[in-house]
Amino acid sequence: MKDLKLRLDVNNMMSDFIGEKGFTETELNSASEKAKEAFNYVKENRGLGMMGWTELPYNQDGIVEDILKTAKEIQEKFDYFVVLGIGGSALGPIAIQQALNHMHYNDLPKEKRNGCPKLYVEDNIDPERMASLFDVIDLEKTCINVISKSGSTSETMSQYLILWDALTKAFGDKAKDHVIATTDAEKGNLIKLAQKEGFKKYVIPDGVGGRFSEMCPVGLLAAAVCGIDIKAMLEGAAYMDKLADSDDIYKNAPLMAATMQYLAINKGYNISVMMPYADSLKFMADWYCQLWGESLGKKHDLNGNVVNVGQTPVKALGVTDQHSQVQLYTEGPFDKVITLLGVDNYRCEVKIPDGCEDIPAVNFLCGHTMNELITAERNATEYALLKSGHLNHTIMLPEVNAFTIGELMYFYELETAYCGAMLGINTFDQPGVEEGKNATYALLGRPGYEEKKKELESRPEKSTKYII
Ligand code: PA5
């Protein structure tokens, strides 16, 4: 397993390497007590409250068998698999698909997709996008997976209503065979609908919030339908869990990463940039942004004090953003921690051919591979950040596969939980998101939200002076 272990390199967070903006050994060691407390808090609360996600690498065996059987049936029967969900119900499935399947998966002929259906993850309610979906799917060959933990999110439920209407009009009482609902076992409206209409159901276990739900049916079903080895993903997550079983920051990589971010936040580094050097990991950055932003951005601490903490996550892509954002990262304000996500072995090698012998300034590329080029550019960016004294660290994946993706996602879930514990906040709620959801319900007249509607109506009238 050692050759599939992720590596965290935090040298460039230290003053010995990047100069005065870096942390001293003394600073790091003085935070190690806080880190131990965070480790113990997470360990003691495993499987409790909203920390049910810690057990997902171990308690999904029966579910996994059912998912694999269902995935096979879907592959045999359908050509399109449409996920309806938003936030944690969508970002994981998108990130996994991009990481582990062909870059142009949906464009491949079915035999090159190993008989798996095309995947569409509809995580927005832009009417143009919804209308466009109907132009690319054939309803008869479409299975939809509607995912909502609360079973009431307006975006997901409106998508469901549109698809369900189309399916019932087309197939009458057979429409239910095209729908799978993934939701809470008891709470919410989706479970009621699933029971009423007779949909196949998967349960989001207790204690598993949206952004921590990739290793349960939320993420596993779409992945299995698209031919991804979900058992390996879970094994990777379990492996990271074992690797992180120490309260010593030098032996627990997610704890070390969390401690570094905690120190950085305390010094006013309010931005966390996630910059993978692999297109396959591009949407991992989106998934990370939700996890980090929604978990750590909090008004109150656990004692009810107003703290307004958090670190704004920013996604970037190596090397694309070397030609846009990296200028800011190297010469802009000292307010960011930059994470470079690298890959040792890409899944293919592309040679740069000869063909420019008479122009040495181009010819130097010839004979190299794109693999060498992208690695050199990651090293070059790391060097530029080091030279300019900006905090950065690197996570290396030996290769991108189901196992290492399970490891990576669990790494970040742990890092987030540790950092939230150090900040003394509730990492697992999202009152700011709920506020927006409730205001939407009120604006569109959901029963029970009359008071909220009045609250919205009592907002000050907008002045025309400020509308130009
Ligand atoms: O992480 C979260 O809890 C949120 O982002 C939710 O996933 C998102 O709001 C969707 O909620 P639900 O699954 O209840 O429809």
Query: Which residue's CA is the closest to the ligand 1 atom numbered 3?
Result: 210
187 a catalytic residue? no
pLDDT at 258: 98
Radius of gyration of the chain (CA): 24
Ligand 1 pocket test target in 147, 149, 211 with most atoms within 8 Å of CB? 149
Per cent of the chain over pLDDT 70 is 100
Q: What average pLDDT does range 177-200 have in this prediction?
A: 97
Q: Report whether residue 430 contacts ligand 1, using a CB cutoff of 6 Å.
A: yes
Query: Which residue's CA is the closest to the ligand 1 atom numbered 12?
Result: 148
Contact assessment for residue 41 and residue 421, using Cβ atoms and an 8 Å cutoff: yes
Cα–ligand 1 centroid distance for 188 (angstroms): 13
Q: What average pLDDT does range 285-304 have in this prediction?
A: 98
pLDDT at 1: 66
pLDDT at 303 over 70: yes
Could you give the CA distance from residue 230 to residue 82 in angstroms, rounded to a whole number? Answer: 19
Q: What is the pLDDT of residues 361-378, one digit of tens each?
A: 999 999 999 999 999 999
Q: How confident is the model at residue 130 (pLDDT cuts 50, 70, 90)?
A: very high
Looking up tokens 């939407």, which residue turns up? 440
Query: Which residue's CA is the closest to the ligand 1 atom numbered 9?
Result: 87
The one catalytic residue among 267, 437, 452, 453 = 437
Instruction: Among 60-64, 141-145, 277-281, name the one with the lowest average pLDDT.
Output: 60-64
Q: What average pLDDT does range 411-420 have in this prediction?
A: 98
Q: Report whether residue 219 contacts ligand 1, using a CB cutoff of 6 Å.
A: no
Q: What average pLDDT does range 107-128 have in this prediction?
A: 97
pLDDT at 38 over 80: yes
Could you give the CA distance from residue 441 to residue 436 in angstroms, rounded to a whole number? Answer: 9
Q: Which of 220, 207, 333, 355 is nearest to 271 (CA)?
A: 333
Q: Report whether residue 433 contacts ligand 1, using a CB cutoff of 6 Å.
A: yes
The one catalytic residue among 242, 323, 462, 465 = 323
Could you give the CA distance from residue 128 to residue 11 in angstroms, rounded to a whole number? Answer: 47
Q: Which of 391, 364, 363, 392 is nearest to 378 (CA)?
A: 392
Q: Report whether residue 293 contacts ligand 1, using a CB cutoff of 6 Å.
A: no
Cα–ligand 1 centroid distance for 153 (angstroms): 8
Q: What are the residues facing 274 on neighbouring strands?
A: 315, 339
Q: How far is CA 360 from CA 355, 357, 375, in A?
A: 11, 6, 21
pLDDT at 308 over 90: yes
pLDDT at 420: 98
Q: Which residues contact 433 (CB under 8 A, 6 or more apart)?
A: 87, 294
Q: What average pLDDT does range 407-417 have in this prediction?
A: 98
Q: What average pLDDT does range 137-152 have in this prediction?
A: 96
Mean pLDDT of all residues belonging to the chain: 97
Q: Report whether residue 183 contacts ligand 1, using a CB cutoff of 6 Å.
A: no
Cα–ligand 1 centroid distance for 87 (angstroms): 5
Measured from the CA of 183, which atom of ligand 1 is nearest?
13
Q: How confident is the model at residue 306 (pLDDT cuts 50, 70, 90)?
A: very high
**CA angle in degrees (0–180, nearest 5) for 234-237-239:** 110
Cα–ligand 1 centroid distance for 269 (angstroms): 27
Measured from the CA of 147, which atom of ligand 1 is nearest?
13
331 a catalytic residue? no
pLDDT at 283: 98
300 a catalytic residue? no
Measured from the CA of 212, which atom of ligand 1 is nearest?
1
Could you give the CA distance from residue 238 to residue 243 in angstroms, rounded to a whole number? Answer: 9
Cα–ligand 1 centroid distance for 63 (angstroms): 21
Measured from the CA of 155, which atom of ligand 1 is nearest?
15
pLDDT at 375: 98
pLDDT at 2: 65
Q: Report whether residue 89 contacts ligand 1, using a CB cutoff of 6 Å.
A: yes
